[in-house]
Structure 1
Amino acid sequence: MAEKTFAFVDEFGNFGFDFEEQNVSSHFIVTAILVKEKDLEDLHSQVEDIGKRYFPSGELNVSADKRMQVLQEVAPLNFTIFSVVVDKRKLHTDSGLGYDKSFKRFLSGRLYKQLLHTFPHLQLTARDNGSKEFIKEFKEYMHSRHQPNLFNQSEFGFVESPSDVLLQLADIICGTIASGYDQGMKSDYYKKFFSILKERWIRIDEWPGKKKGYTVDLGDLEDEVAEYNDIIADLSLERAQEFIRKYEFSEEQYKRDQVNFVKFLLLNLEYNRHGYVRTDEILRNINAFRKNQLSSTQQLRTNIVAKVRDEGVLISSSDKGYKLPVCVEDVIEFVNHSNIIIQPMLSRLKKSRDQILRATKNELDIFASAEFQPLKKYFDQ
């Protein structure tokens, strides 16, 4: 039996769509703090100790400075964060999702499918009270959809809370995410918050997804190529999103790994568009969704990165890691990195071919086979 994962779930926002009203949120956010069963007791004890020091009265009114301090203390602990963020402003009321019941049902389906597909042995805990608009609907949705049987032995469902302090942690994290999205909660500190928790994020699933807005300054490159930045950014994001839509719910493990890899690059792009993601970070993120852990960077390159590129997704790489390209500079850096590898390989191939041709008086060409014709043509030219 696979090890259980516990999820402590909290929500932010409400289901109103009249954004002129003072208390109507622009976003609705559901956040799960995920912890493996073997780490549950230690995490509970550690978070309880932090809570006693920062919230002795039990109240969770968190200033920006105190939130920063709390996040710095919880960042090294053994848990991960999974969140769904819905921008309600982008939903069209005439689609049916502008109504409370249909919106709740849609969001329940999206969250259920994402979590069940990724964590079949997940035990969820959430406060079910009048202030939580979504949790009750989500529970009802799960009970109607998820019926374990002889062929489906997953332990996916709600359980009684073994830890109020971890629900409080979920509340703090959910509020932290809201400070980066919601029009009434926006904070200039959000990027710092996000950076502190960098090792803990495994997914922020934004819906509807973003398509534009990822352009960067080319720096020292010539001004005339800057006009292509938007084209590269749009193409890069479009191909990444197409790949996710195509394979998001594949039953094949490596396809799921590839989707999680692309999603992680998208997440990094949102908050660190100039930066690359290191290989060890990528492996850690992929393994958060895996029963059997990947440890080989060769597996990452061969079974994940290369296969994603084969599908037409644009991925830049350098000695700093991987990223989705959003400007000409990203693409050129990828070409430079590839050139360092490819040119010496081609040179060695040419030397080997030339030596064998000379030794056999031009009778044996190692590029004579049909599959090597592109190489033969390249060197003949």
Structure 2
Amino acid sequence: MNHHTAFLSEWGNNALDFSKKAPTGILPTTHFIVTALIMDKADLATVLAIHEAVSKRHFDGGLIDSERISNDHVKRKEVLEDLEELPFQVFSIIVDKRQVIGEGLRYKGSFFKFLHGLADRELFRIFPDLEIVTGQVGDDTFMNGFITYVQQNHIANLFNESSFGFVASQDSPVVQTANFVAGTLARCYDETVITDQRGEFIEILKRKVLTIRFWPDALAHNLISQPQPGPSFDPLLSQLSVNLANDFLHRKSADKAPQAIDQVSSLSYLLFHFRHINPTRYITSFELMEHIRARRGKNVSLHYFQTKVIAPLRDAGVLIASSSRGYKLPASQQDLYDFVGHSNTIIEPMLPRVKRFRDQIHMATDGKIDVLAADEYKVIRKVID
């Protein structure tokens, strides 16, 4: 049974020759964006009701159309703020077409096939039971080939619960909303429509972001301007944090184990905030756990989050700083000291307690029982001794 539905839309054109205009006279877009709004099927009625209210408020009951408001950035912010009430998460793939180097990708057919595999792998890794809905497609679009790709790789399997449908965009209000979000992301990244208000748009969308994948993935995609080097920002340490995080994401992106998916999802969230919101901000445990809950459809405990998500990430070599304010990728020496200091407030008081416990048992049993005698406790034993 499908528990989640993804409403897909695309933005941009497939022109890969930036030296001339397309036959229509329209400049080639620098980026191609695929965006999905993912929600629990049980929430669809609520989504449609809120969508209708937003449509009446801003579009006279018509399509929620990104191009209609174009560069009216005040109106765009108002629409985004109203759409924030909707219980959806944003999945997006943003491809910088200027970085398509291989000759095999310089043809629109090969380019779209590459995108089909990328979108399919990311979507179905996170939601293996996904139902996908997209707008009515033409012959020369990303969605046209994506339908075939998904059907061949998923729906042909009788035991796979994935399904695919497409509708005319005017018949699917949520596809309209996906198109509006895609158009908004374009104004954050595409050089033909980019705006200085992009940071404000992302600030509104940030709690809705499940995954945004950039191809190729480079620090040049940072939405924010890097802070000046100083006590709160060390460029070399920040680069190391991002590189180690990306290395883990690349290695684990295909792992379908629930805990691995939660680790990838949480790390992606931390990385997105580091690069596009604020590299100095800590993210609370609650916010990260809520991010997992929204994807899973059920709550996770703090113990699970700490032991099955954060701890394995650190064990794998990912740098994650923590303090009483939450978690983040370290951007400065102070972030490192925050982690060590926070750990020390937990470890140091425990050692005297363990020693006292050990001594009491040792004395009461005339030395017959040493609770730290086992090999797995040799580090604690060495510290206490």
Instruction: Tell me the TM-score range normalised by the shorter chain.
Output: 0.7 to 0.9
Compared CA separation, residues 136 and 354, structure 1 to 2 (3 A) = same
TM-aligned CA deviation for residue 310 of structure 1: 1.3
Return the match for 1:26 from 12, 30, 47.
Answer: 30
CA separation in 2, counterparts of 1:15 and 1:119? 27
Structure 2: 5+ residue stretches without partners: 22-26
Q: Which runs of 5+ in 1 are unaligned?
A: none
Q: Which residue of 2 aligns with 1:89?
A: 98
Query: What is the DSSP-based 3-state SS (H/G/I as helix, E as strand, rest coil) of the residue aligned with 1:288?
Result: helix
Q: Does 1:196 align with 2:204?
A: yes
Using a 3 Å threshold, how does the CA distance of structure 1 residues 253 and 92 change in structure 2: closer, same or farther? same
Evaluate the alpha carbon distance shift between residue 355 and residue 215 of structure 1 in structure 2; reply closer, same or farther with a 3 A threshold. Answer: farther
Contact 1:283–1:300 (Cα < 8 Å) also in 2: yes
Equivalent residue in structure 2 for 1:349, among 346, 354, 372: 354
2: CA distance between counterparts of 1:359 and 1:45? 69
- Tell me which residue corresponds to 2:184: 176
Once structures 1 and 2 are overlaid, which stretch shifts more, 17-26 or 185-194?
A: 17-26
Show the counterpart of 1:157: 164
Instruction: Map 1:359-374 to 2 at 5 A.
Output: 365-374=370-379
Q: Quick check: 301-310 or 343-352, which moved more?
A: 343-352
Amino acid in the other structure paired with 1:121: D
Q: 2:56 aligns with which of 52, 62, 80?
A: 52
**CA distance in structure 2 between the aligned counterparts of 1:263 and 1:243, rounded to whole angstroms:** 10
Asked whether the equivalents of residues 2 and 161 of structure 2 are also in contact (C-alpha less than 8 Å), the reply is no
How do 1:30-109 residues align onto structure 2 when only pairs under 5 Å count? 30-56=34-60, 58=62, 60=65, 61-62=68-69, 63-94=72-103, 96-109=104-117
Question: Residue 323 of structure 1 aligns with which residue?
Answer: 328
Is the 8 Å Cα contact of residues 216 and 327 (structure 1) preserved in structure 2?
Answer: no
Contact kept, 8 Å, 1:44 with 1:163, in 2: the verdict is: no
**Structure 1 contact 120–156 (Cα < 8 Å) conserved:** no
Q: Distance in 1 between the 2:280 and 2:19 partners?
A: 36
2:294 to 284, 288, 296: 288
Contact preservation (8 Å) 2:50, 2:85? no
Aligned 1:243-262 pairs, distance under 5 A: 243-262=248-267
Q: 2:308 aligns with which of 299, 303, 307?
A: 303
Q: 1:163–1:326: structure 2 CA closer, same or farther, 3 Å change rule?
A: farther
Distance 1:131 1:53, change over 3 A: farther
CA deviation after TM superposition for structure 1 residue 130, in Å: 4.3
Give 1:167's aligned amino acid.
V
Distance 1:368 1:45, change over 3 A: closer
Cα-to-partner distance string for 1:197-237 (whole Å, 9 max, x where unaligned): 2322111111211257796556557xxxx7xx333223222
Preserved contact between residue 93 and residue 99 of structure 1 (Cα < 8 Å): no
- After TM superposition, the structure 1 = structure 2 runs for residues 138-153 of structure 1, keeping only pairs within 5 Å, are 138-150=146-158, 152-153=159-160
The aligned counterpart of 1:136 is 144
Q: Is the 8 A contact 1:71 1:196 kept in 2?
A: yes
- CA deviation string 1:284-329 (max 9, x = no partner): 22223325x2331111001111111111111111121111112222
Partner residue, 1:209: 217
Tell me how far 1:366 sits from its aligned partner. Answer: 4.2
AA aligned to 1:139 is: I
2:105 is paired with a residue whose SS is coil
Matched AA of 1:276: Y
Q: Deviations over 1:19-56 (max 9, x none)?
A: 34461111110011122222212211221221122112
The TM-score, its normalising length taken from structure 1, stands at 0.87
Q: Is the 8 A contact 2:266 2:292 kept in 1?
A: yes
Secondary structure at 1:199 match in 2: helix
Partner of 2:5 in structure 1? 6
Q: In the alignment, which of 239, 242, 246 is matched to residue 241 of structure 1?
A: 246
2:182 aligned partner, one-letter code = C
Report the Cα distance in structure 1 between the residues aligned to 2:350 and 2:105, rounded to whole angstroms.
55
Query: Which of 174, 186, 198 is equivalent to 1:166?
Result: 174
**Offset, 1:163:** 4.0
Once structures 1 and 2 are overlaid, which stretch shifts more, 85-94 or 329-338? 85-94
Please tell me whether the aligned partners of residues 34 and 93 of structure 2 are also in contact (alpha carbons under 8 angstroms).
yes
Sort the Cα spacing of 1:73 and 1:147 in 2 relative to 1 into closer, same or farther, 3 A: closer
In structure 2, the CA distance between the partners of 1:186 and 1:215, relative to structure 1 (3 Å rule), is closer
Q: Show the counterpart of 1:263.
A: 268
Give the one of 272, 282, 291 matched to 1:276: 282
Q: How many residues align?
A: 370
> For the residues of structure 2 that align with 1:377 and 1:6, how far apart are their CA atoms?
54
In the alignment, the residues of structure 2 paired with residue 188 and residue 351 of structure 1 have an alpha-carbon distance, to the nearest angstrom, of: 61
Structure 1 vs Structure 2 CA RMSD: 2.7
Q: Whole-Å Cα distance in 2 between the matches of residues 353 and 310 of structure 1?
A: 29
How far did 1:14 drift?
1.6
Alignment check: 8 A CA contact 1:215 1:233 kept: no
Distance 1:132 1:47, change over 3 A: farther
TM-score by length of 2: 0.87
